[in-house]
Amino acid sequence: MSPVDIFSRLVAGLALCSGFSAAAQTSPEATATKNSTELQADEMNYEEATDTLKAIGRVEVTRDGRVLLADTVTYNQGTDIAVATGNVSMLDKNGTVMFFDRLEMKGDLKEGFAKEVRVLLADKSRLTSREFRRTEGRYNEMSQATYSACDIVCEDLAPIWQIKASRVQYDEEAEMVYYRNARVELLGIPMFYTPYLAHPDPTSGRKSGLLLPIISGGRNLGLSYAQPYYINISPDKDATLSPLITTSAGKGMTGEYRQRFGSGEFQLFGSVVGDDADSSKDARGHLRGRARWDMDDKWRSGADVHLASDRTYLRRYNFEAPTWLTTNAYAERFSSHSYFSANTYHFQRQRRTVAVGTTPIIAPLLQYNYVGDQTGRSGYFSADANALVLLREEGSDSNRLSAKVGWTLPYTSPLGDIYMLRTTLRTDGYYVRDVARLSRNDTFTGTAGRVLPEASLEWRFPLVRNDGNAHQLLEPIVMGVVSPTEQNPEKIPNEDSRDLEFDDTNLFDTQRVSGLDRVEGGARVNYGLRWSAYGARGGSVASFIGQSYRFNRDNTFTPISGLSEKLSDIVGRIDAAPNPYVNLLYRFRLNKDSLGSRRNEFGATLGPEISRLGVSYIFLKQDPTNRALGEREELFTSFSTRLTKYWSLNASHRQDLSPNGGRIRTAFGFTYEDECSIFGLDIADDNTQDRDFKRGLTVLLRFNLKTIGDIKFNTGVGAQK
């Protein structure tokens, strides 16, 4: 056997030895074969008496991107043992560096031994061991092993955290790593101990097994313990089951299933909990799912599911809890000029204000949109269609069919002013059941419809000025719209046009109502002025102010909407960013007569990222026709700063400024982050309560050991009113 072959096998053996220590930071790569080996040394000797080959002085062996360095390397062909001594180190191709005082390997690579092993992984984390031993060609064992991702500041000081184990074994065939007597130490103090721990070699892919438990405590659940178990079903699907035990809210189970297809994906998550204290109560739970399927280059379909057994379950058991839970199934088609979608919807409200039986189910909602090409100066055509079936257990039902065709002609004059002429014709047909008619104090079942022709002309004249210091834009805008009046009969229920917010974003819409059930009619003129400036050295400011005038009143709009009279409220906004550290936004809607505020919205972000203050304020006038929506005035402030290189602080406060308001939520936290860990303390005082969801103080203590994972302790104390 040649010297080069001997050292080639030695380096290959070292690579195997280092595999489990570096595997946690790398991904599997294709194994190179038949690569050449380069050997360099000051001196090469062969002792025939002992049948020993020796490389002496600055020995360097390179193979497959790995480099072995040593003062001396010997190989005894009789005993088939290779030994590297003196400043032994090996650089792996992923950046991991291993250091040995002495390394011995059998020529068949099935057995090996080393002392005082030190490993510097590619992510700068460190692994040390008193002894290393390889046996049976598959087991790599390290005794008295220590692992940490923290920098060593002083040899006499313990790192911020480290993991110690009496023995670590890597089984190459099973692709598993086993720990004996493992403990986690913080600043040298043992914090967690387990006699046995096992996990897959991260390069081996997914394997079934236990995950880290989740332990928490709070005013809503008491003490709780969840133990996730991961199930690797196949390369394209997996599942996680997690039994849950609480001291105050019963026992249960959460589960998640995930699957990927060649053209889509599917994910389902849910939970179920029983009440130990009262067996007569039904089990509580929730279900949340998502599916996507790309059928071809034009068609796509999917579904989103979100259901809960009752209105407080999600918040009490610490799941995401939006105000409305929406279940939706859909299909859609895209093309260069058109779009089609089919949807079904089911809603669940998570607050008390809506009776369960009055929540609608939509099955289906069909939508089609088409925009044609513009040919020369002749403009372009468009078409829209909509079909809706809306059903309720209690209350009115609505079936709607709507179609609209339009023609648009854009034009830019030689002076630079811009014109946009639009004409549309829309027809709506309805079949409804049990629609309340206030004027007759009865309900209506039958058909209804309307025809709505509409024409509009918009004019803009952008004026630009550049004086060298700033680039300015001044743009007056005027739009005239004509359509029939009194197009909202009581026979047509208002299902999708209830949420109207008149502001600067929809002033120039021909229809400022949302949805299709209500229409804006009559002749009106919308006008506004836009101005913006951009500094040559940075900084900008943009503003807009506008108003609308109609030639007849429209009973479609409530008095608080700002559109019920001939002259509308005044709307506008100001955006200012004079430098990278200041961003200001102000949006307003003012009463046309008194200039009193109907809506005020202010936001500011001040300071660099290292120390930043945020403020937002909103004011909404009460709608006298809807007492359920009272006057709203709210202030939110937030502050974050980096106190030192490692310490940062954050705080926030939300306050209801209305006469009967008060504090909503206050939060405060510290975070420490260095090269190997994140420690955080977050305290939040929530002043909201809903039935069995209790208000009070919540404390969250976070530990993130970088390269390892998160440990969280969550507890809640305080009022339980």
Residues 49 and 151 in one domain: yes
Q: What is the CATH number of the domain that holds 119?
A: 2.60.450.10
- Residue 199, Cβ neighbours under 10 Å: how many? 14
Provide the token pair at 409: 């002609």
Contact criterion met (CB below 8 Å) for 524 and 481: yes
**pLDDT at residue 286 above 90?**
yes
**pLDDT at residue 623 above 70?**
no
From its phi and psi, is residue 276 left (phi > 0), alpha (psi between -120 and 50) or beta? alpha
Question: Is position 214 within any domain?
Answer: no
In angstroms, the Cα distances linking 692 to 184, 246, 286, 358 are: 38, 15, 17, 24
Q: Please, which residues have CB within 8 angstroms of residue 673's CB and are 6 or more apart in sequence?
A: 646, 648, 679
Among residues 153, 174, 205, which one ends one of the domains? 205
Q: Please, which residues have CB within 8 angstroms of residue 253's CB and are 6 or more apart in sequence?
A: 241, 242, 243, 244, 271, 272
**pLDDT at residue 341 above 90?**
yes
Residues 586 and 662 in one domain: no
pLDDT band for position 718 (50/70/90)? very low
Single-letter amino acid code for the residue at 195 = P
Q: What is the pLDDT of residue 277?
A: 58
Task: Tell me the CA end-to-end span of the chain in Å, nearest whole number.
Answer: 83
pLDDT band for position 208 (50/70/90)? confident
| β-bridge partners, 480 | 457, 525
**pLDDT at residue 437 above 90?**
no
Residues 82 and 124 in one domain: yes
In angstroms, the Cα distances linking 564 to 283, 507, 594 are: 50, 14, 16
Among residues 606, 638, 657, which one ends one of the domains? 606
pLDDT band for position 217 (50/70/90)? low
Residues 588 and 466 in one domain: yes
Question: For 272-283, what is the mean pLDDT?
Answer: 72
Q: What is the pLDDT of residue 31?
A: 36
Residues 583 and 473 in one domain: yes
Provide the token pair at 5: 């072959």
Contact criterion met (CB below 8 Å) for 683 and 186: no
Contact criterion met (CB below 8 Å) for 638 and 651: yes
Q: Which carries the bigger pLDDT value, residue 686 or residue 505? A: 505
Portion of the chain with pLDDT greater than 90, in percent = 47
Summarize pLDDT for 590-617 with one digit per residue, the tens.
Answer: 999 999 888 999 999 999 989 999 999 9
By C-alpha distance, which of 713, 714, 720, 667 is closest to 696?
A: 720
Residues 62 and 148 in one domain: yes
**pLDDT at residue 585 above 90?**
yes
From its phi and psi, is residue 80 left (phi > 0), alpha (psi between -120 and 50) or beta? left
Distance in angstroms (rounded) separating the CA atoms of residues 681 and 398: 52
Contact criterion met (CB below 8 Å) for 711 and 705: yes
Question: For 422-429, what is the mean pLDDT?
Answer: 97
**pLDDT at residue 91 above 60?**
yes
| Cis ω before 202 (30° cut-off from 0) | no
Portion of the chain with pLDDT greater than 70, in percent = 87
Question: Is position 257 within any domain?
Answer: no
Residues 537 and 635 in one domain: no
Distance in angstroms (rounded) separating the CA atoms of residues 143 and 125: 18
Contact criterion met (CB below 8 Å) for 273 and 251: yes
Residues 650 and 714 in one domain: yes
Distance in angstroms (rounded) separating the CA atoms of residues 539 and 280: 65
Question: Is position 618 within any domain?
Answer: no
Q: Which carries the bigger pLDDT value, residue 16 or residue 96? A: 96
Q: If 0-12 CB within 10 Å is exposed, 13-18 middle and 19+ buried, where does residue 526 land?
A: buried
Distance in angstroms (rounded) separating the CA atoms of residues 378 and 542: 34
Contact criterion met (CB below 8 Å) for 226 and 242: yes
Q: What is the pLDDT of residue 62?
A: 83
Planar angle of CA 170, 171, 172, nearest 5 degrees: 110
Q: What is the pLDDT of residue 49?
A: 83
3-state secondary structure of 357: helix
Single-letter amino acid code for the residue at 384 = D
From its phi and psi, is residue 230 left (phi > 0), alpha (psi between -120 and 50) or beta? beta
Question: Is position 68 within any domain?
Answer: yes
pLDDT band for position 136 (50/70/90)? confident
**pLDDT at residue 8 above 70?**
no
Least confident of 221-235, 520-534, 537-551, 701-715: 701-715
**pLDDT at residue 696 above 60?**
yes
Q: What is the pLDDT of residue 214?
A: 75
By C-alpha distance, which of 340, 387, 338 is closest to 364?
A: 387
**pLDDT at residue 97 above 60?**
yes
Q: What is the pLDDT of residue 693?
A: 60
Single-letter amino acid code for the residue at 588 = F
Residues 601 and 642 in one domain: no
Distance in angstroms (rounded) separating the CA atoms of residues 178 and 209: 13
Distance in angstroms (rounded) separating the CA atoms of residues 171 and 201: 9
Question: For 466-476, what is the mean pLDDT?
Answer: 92
Q: How does strand 161-171 pair with strand 176-186?
A: antiparallel
Residues 467 and 572 in one domain: yes
Write out the H or E segment, with its range, that includes residue 331.
strand 324-334
Provide the token pair at 429: 């047909």
Question: Is position 76 within any domain?
Answer: yes
Summarize pLDDT for 224-261 with one digit per residue, the tens.
Answer: 888 889 999 998 999 999 999 988 888 999 999 999 99
Question: Is position 224 within any domain?
Answer: no
Average pLDDT, the chain: 85
The sign of the torsion formed by the CA atoms of 162, 163, 168, 172 equals negative
Q: What is the pLDDT of residue 210?
A: 80
Contact criterion met (CB below 8 Å) for 392 and 359: yes
From its phi and psi, is residue 503 left (phi > 0), alpha (psi between -120 and 50) or beta? beta
Distance in angstroms (rounded) separating the CA atoms of residues 319 and 183: 32
Summarize pLDDT for 490-530 with one digit per residue, the tens.
Answer: 999 999 988 888 999 999 999 999 899 999 999 999 999 99
- Residue 471, Cβ neighbours under 10 Å: how many? 15
Q: In angstroms, how far is CA 435 from the centroid of its own chain?
A: 41
Question: For 288-316, what is the mean pLDDT?
Answer: 92
Least confident of 14-23, 119-128, 275-284, 575-584: 14-23
**pLDDT at residue 280 above 90?**
no
pLDDT band for position 327 (50/70/90)? very high
The domain containing residue 708 runs over which residues?
Answer: 628-721
Among residues 159, 182, 205, which one ends one of the domains? 205
Q: What is the pLDDT of residue 26?
A: 34
**pLDDT at residue 34 above 70?**
no
Question: For 278-288, what is the mean pLDDT?
Answer: 79
Question: Is position 295 within any domain?
Answer: no
pLDDT band for position 583 (50/70/90)? very high
3-state secondary structure of 202: helix
Q: If 0-12 CB within 10 Å is exposed, 13-18 middle and 19+ buried, where does residue 635 land?
A: middle
Question: Is position 67 within any domain?
Answer: yes
**pLDDT at residue 317 above 50?**
yes
Q: Which carries the bigger pLDDT value, residue 235 or residue 29? A: 235
**pLDDT at residue 626 above 60?**
no
**pLDDT at residue 320 above 70?**
yes
Q: What is the pLDDT of residue 108?
A: 63
pLDDT band for position 464 (50/70/90)? very high
Residues 537 and 444 in one domain: yes
Q: What is the pLDDT of residue 29?
A: 36
Residues 125 and 192 in one domain: yes
Number of independent structural domains in the chain: 3
In angstroms, the Cα distances linking 717 to 248, 390, 663, 714 are: 14, 45, 18, 10
Summarize pLDDT for 438-449 with one digit per residue, the tens.
Answer: 878 889 999 999
Q: Which carries the bigger pLDDT value, residue 235 or residue 389? A: 389
Please report the beta strands in 335-396, taking only residues with DSSP state E, as ranges in sequence order: 338-349, 361-371, 380-391
Q: Please, which residues have CB within 8 angstroms of residue 422's CB and are 6 or more apart in sequence?
A: 406, 407, 408, 409, 454, 455, 456, 457, 458, 510
Altogether, the residues listed in the chain come to a count of 721
DSSP letter at 580 equals T
pLDDT band for position 716 (50/70/90)? very low
Summarize pLDDT for 166-183 with one digit per residue, the tens.
Answer: 998 888 788 777 889 999
